Structure 1
Amino acid sequence: MKQATGRGRPRDAEIDRKILDAARTLLAEGGYRALAFDSISQMTDIPRSMIYRRWPTKAHLANEISTGGDDGLPDVIDAEGLDAQVLALVHQVFDRYRRPDIAAAAIGVIAATQGDRTVQDELGAKAETVARDELSAIVARGKAAGLIDPASSADTLFDMIVGTLIYRALFSMKPIPPDYAEQVTRMIVDGLAVRP
């Protein structure tokens, strides 16, 4: 199976998958420091040059693991209401960043690109823009249905969900209560809901 890249020869999706699987294993077992193209090459028998052609640095590879893979934001507001919509968003973000490979990739990319806004923009801009646009559409429909206060900002909601959950999943040393996603959901819904 081939995957087009837009220029040059099409990429082989199976090679991409093998590289990503090996990278996820290294990240989960040893963190960002363990992620090395030499190690991936040894694990997969794929030459380093083929890895570099796909991802020029390990930050680019880790970024694909930390930001890729989802089929978009869950969108259940029309069928299930505001509480279910926020809970689905909270679970998606929280469950994702609690995975060891994704956590290590995200922390590694943050550290590797610290202070370099050009690289940060290159790596994160597209995924963030797509996610913010999806959430904006969901919020607009919630407002039109009378479920979300018209003054609510989709961008602020995005920051609240992603910032809160990534901080707790990746950086906090406090134990995570079993109902943490539900607690966060209740607080966010209380701030979004239309007041009678």
Structure 2
Amino acid sequence: MPKERQGRPRDSQIDHTVIETVRKLLAESGYERLNIDAVAARAKVGKAAIYRRYASKAELAFAATVHDVDDLPPPADTGSLRGDLLVIAHRVWRRMNDPAARQVGPAIIAELSRSPGLAARFQQGLLAAERQSYATVLNRAADRGELAGPVDPELVHLLVSGPIFFSAYGYQIPMDDERLEAIATTVALGLTGTTR
């Protein structure tokens, strides 16, 4: 049986250079002006190297802005559901308020409806990691006796992250510590009957 030919191993330095270049270009010019030619020229790599890694501009922008989700650490245990939700709310806001994410977020959201592959990566990557964070804090709250019964992590994800998302990408409503605290407090009150 003949051996399968294997190509050269993928160069992680090219991966890093391309992603960093995309982040810079997004911050400088926005998603609409991002193109593979500009990325290749600035990163000093061939377009073929980029297309071997990413099928489209949307895939490339997604990889550059929705990164490190596999390494998303569990949220800090503050000792209360409200405190844990506040930790997550701050983390979500930091991610969405990142300059590159603000440039590309609305475009990626629009692209999700047109690209089943990208939508699947979004669901299996970022959303799954975020939902795991919510499941972790809900399990802690249940262990502390804060919850009367089971709570759906996806619902809590929507209740906390939804207003932050619309603030960043929809309504352009300013978000600050006071609003993040109000979101965490309101959701905790609805789930536990207390603002602790």
Do both share a fold (TM > 0.5)?
yes
Give the letter for the 1:174 counterpart: I
Correspondence list, 1:152-191, <5 A: 152-177=151-176, 179-191=178-190
1:132 aligns with 2:118: no
Distance in 2 (CA, whole Å) between partners of 1:55 and 1:120 is: 11
1:19 aligns with 2:5: no
1:39: how far off?
Answer: 0.5
Distance 1:8 1:164, change over 3 A: farther
Q: In the alignment, what sits opposite 1:72?
A: 72
Give the letter for the 1:161 counterpart: V
Q: Which runs of 5+ in 2 are unaligned?
A: 1-5
Q: Which runs of 5+ in 1 are unaligned?
A: 1-6
Q: In the alignment, what sits opposite 2:54?
A: 55
SS in 2 for 1:33: coil
1:159: how far off?
Answer: 1.2
Q: In the alignment, what sits opposite 2:3?
A: none
8 A contact 1:76–1:85 mirrored in 2:
yes
1:8: how far off?
Answer: 6.0
Number of residue-to-residue matches in the alignment = 187
TM-score, normalised via structure 1 length: 0.83
1:130: how far off?
Answer: 3.4
**1:7-60 residue CA offsets vs partner (Å, 9 max, x unmatched):** 965322221111111111111122111221110111111111101111111111
**1:55-82 residue CA offsets vs partner (Å, 9 max, x unmatched):** 11111111223322243254223x5322
TM-score, normalised via structure 2 length: 0.83
Distance 1:88 1:134, change over 3 A: closer
Give the letter for the 2:108 counterpart: V
Identity %: 23
Correspondence list, 1:81-160, <5 A: 81-114=80-113, 116=114, 118-127=116-125, 128-160=127-159
**1:107-128 residue CA offsets vs partner (Å, 9 max, x unmatched):** 12122333x3623433312112
1:146: how far off?
Answer: 0.8
Distance in 1 (CA, whole Å) between partners of 2:153 and 2:26 is: 32
8 A contact 1:66–1:103 mirrored in 2:
no
Distance in 2 (CA, whole Å) between partners of 1:72 and 1:158 is: 15
Q: In the alignment, what sits opposite 1:4?
A: none
Q: Output the aligned Cα RMSD.
A: 2.3
Q: Which moved more, 1:135-144 or 1:48-57?
A: 135-144
